[in-house]
Amino acid sequence: MNHKNVFYPLNFNKPHLTGKETEYIIHAVSSGHISGNGAFTKKCHTFFEERYGFNKCLLTTSCTDALEMSAILINIKPDDEIIMPSFTFVSTALAFVRQGAKIVFADSCKDQPNMDETEVEKLITQRTKAIVVVHYAGVACNMDYFIELSQKYNLWLIEDAAQAIDSFYVNQTGQKLPLGSMGHLACFSFHETKNIQCGEGGMLVINHETFKKRAEIIWEKGTNRAAFWRGEVDKYGWVDTGSSFLPSDLLAAFLFAQLEKIDVIQQKRKTIWNLYYEKLKNLEKKEYIKLPVLPEYATNNAHMFYFICKCDMQRQELINFLKNQGIWAVFHYQSLHKSNFYEDKYKGKQLPYCDFYSNSLLRLPFYYDLSNEDINQIVNKIHDFFLKSH
C-alpha cells in the first residue's frame, strides 16, 4: 500500500544504510560498467545462490518485474486461470493479468493473513495453470500442501516472497527450507520498506531447469546477450519476447552492501519485533487486539509488526490518535477482488477473512533504527488509546 511521503517524528519506515553503499557505488562507477549484469550483480547472484541454495538468481528492477517474468515464463494463454490470495499487493495479480490470465482469488486463513490452503483445491479447474502463494509478512504458507497440490494437478507453483528474505519453512520431515526455494519460480523485493533494500529492486529465483535459459533471455530484452558476454555465442540477437528487467549495477552495488550485513540487520529487526510482541501481549489478553500468529512450520524474519483491531472504525480511530502523537501507523492491502479494477470481473464467492484483514490489520512503525525508547513511546500511546476507549 502506498502512502504519502509525510514526515512524522516516528515515521512508518526509514531505510537503513550499512555504511558501505556509497563506497561500492563508487567502485561500480570506477569499473566503467554501470549498466546491468556487472560485477556487483554477479556478487549478489552468487550470495543468494550460495547462502540459500537457490538454483539460479536474476536481479530485477522490482519484484513486480520478477512476477512479470514469471508470467511470461509459464506461457499464459487466454483464459488460463491463476489462483492466488486476494489479500496481497496489486503486483501479484497484475503481472498475470497483463499476460491475459483470469485471476481466481482465494480467501485468507482464519487465524493469519496467508492464503487458506484448504480452500485452494476447490478452485482448481481444467484451465488452472499455476498457484501463486504469497508469504505475508515473511511468514511461510503451508508449502508441503501446495507442493503436493501442484504435483497432483501438474500446476506451476510460484512464490511471491516479496517480504520473505531470510525466512524459512520447516517441512514435514523437519527440514528447514528457505522461502523462495520451493516454488518452480520465486520473486523477491528489495524496495526501501523491505529488510534488505536498495531503494527499488527485486529478484527472480529460478528453481526449475526448464526456465533457466529462457529466463536469462527474457531478462535481457529477449536477446541472448548474456550468453554472448560469457563467450557462448559469437554474436547476440533477438530470440524471444522480454524486456529490460535487469537493474543497473549501481543498484546491485547498493544491495550488496546490505547483503554483507544481513545477519546484523536481521538480529536487530527480530529484537524490535520481539519487543513489540512482549509489550503488547497484555492488550491481547484483555481482548483489545489480536497479535500475529506464527504457524509451527514457519520462522519469523521480522519483516513487519502488525496486529488486528476489532473493526475498521477502531483501526482508523487508532491511526488518527497515533498520528496526533507524531506516530505514523498504517493499514495494509485492500481486497483485490473488491478493487475498482477487478470487482466487475470477480464472479467468485465472498472472501470474509480476506476482507477482515483488509479492514482490521494495522502495521506499526518498523525499521532498523528504531530504539527501545521509540518502541516504548509507540506502545505507551497504544495503551493510552485503549485505556481511554474502555
- Distance, in Å, from the CA atom of 239 to the CA atom of 218, rounded to the nearest integer, reads 9
Q: What is the pLDDT of residues 85-116, one digit of tens each?
A: 999 999 999 999 999 999 999 999 999 999 99
- Write 324-329 long-range contacts (CB < 8 A, 24+): 325/381, 326/8, 326/9, 326/10, 327/8, 327/9, 327/10, 327/365, 327/377, 327/378, 327/381, 328/3, 328/6, 328/8, 328/10, 328/11, 328/12, 328/365, 329/12, 329/362, 329/363, 329/364, 329/365
Q: What is the pLDDT of residues 329-376, one digit of tens each?
A: 999 899 999 999 998 988 889 999 999 999 999 999 999 999 999 999
Q: Where are the domains of the chain?
A: 21-259, 262-389
Q: How far is CA 377 from CA 282, 363, 373, 383, in A?
A: 16, 16, 6, 10
pLDDT-based confidence at residue 8 (cuts at 50, 70, 90): low
Query: What average pLDDT does the segment 153-161 reach?
Result: 98
Same CATH topology for 21-259 and 262-389: the answer is no
Query: What average pLDDT does the segment 109-126 reach?
Result: 97
- Looking at the DSSP bridge assignments, the partners of residue 203 are 59, 188
| Threshold 0.85, pTM exceeds | yes
| 187 dihedral zone (left: phi>0; alpha: psi -120 to 50; beta) | beta
Amino acid identity, position 138? G
Fold classification of 262-389 (topology level): Aspartate Aminotransferase, domain 1 (3.90.1150)
Query: Residue 1 has what pLDDT?
Result: 46
pLDDT-based confidence at residue 232 (cuts at 50, 70, 90): confident
Confirm if 35 and 26 have CB atoms less than 8 A apart. Answer: no
Nine-digit cell at 16?
Answer: 537503513
CATH 3.20.20.70 fits 21-259, yes or no: no
Q: What is the pLDDT of residues 313-329, one digit of tens each?
A: 999 999 999 999 999 99
- Distance, in Å, from the CA atom of 296 to the CA atom of 288, rounded to the nearest integer, reads 25
